[in-house]
Amino acid sequence: MILTAALASASARAQDLDGGKSGAALFKSTCAQCHQSARGLAKGRFSWTLSSFLQEHYTSSASSAQLLTAYLQSVDAPRTNDAPRTKPQAARLPAASASESALRPPAPIPAR
């Protein structure tokens, strides 16, 4: 009887409470209370160190920690469809016409 109770309690402790949740759902249930956004949480961190930290402190299994790590890194990943940022039109200098030299001084130099 004691052996059966010990085995039952061991299996209850080993239960994966985060099983079946996506990375976004794990963030919402685990992290959103303290962090308004997932953006920036994985920035500059190696995936294995982040996953290890999350497994030790916030998730109930290694697979849940890996899912949450992948989600956090995907939020911080640069988007491939973003166009490169350019300066606003007002900040650009006007192009020199073909008859004017770009090296010409702004005012005539007086003769001596």
Distance CA 40, CA 93 (A): 35
- Reported as a single tens digit per residue, the pLDDT across 57-81 is 888 889 998 999 999 999 888 777 6
> Does 12 or 26 have the greater pLDDT score?
26
Distances (CA, A) of 24 to 16, 27, 59, 94, 99: 17, 5, 13, 48, 60
Distance CA 36, CA 33 (A): 7
Domain spans in the chain, listed from the N-terminal domain onward:
18-77
The per-residue pLDDT for 112 is: 73
DSSP character at residue 41: S
Mean pLDDT of the residues in the chain: 75
The per-residue pLDDT for 36 is: 86
Distance CA 94, CA 63 (A): 57
The per-residue pLDDT for 31 is: 87
> Does 112 or 84 have the greater pLDDT score?
112
Q: Which residue has 């999350």 as its token pair?
A: 54
The per-residue pLDDT for 8 is: 58
Helix axes 23-30, 62-76, angle to 10 degrees: 100
Distance CA 35, CA 42 (A): 12
DSSP character at residue 83: P
Q: Which of 13-17, 28-32, 36-40, 106-110 has the lowest average pLDDT?
A: 13-17
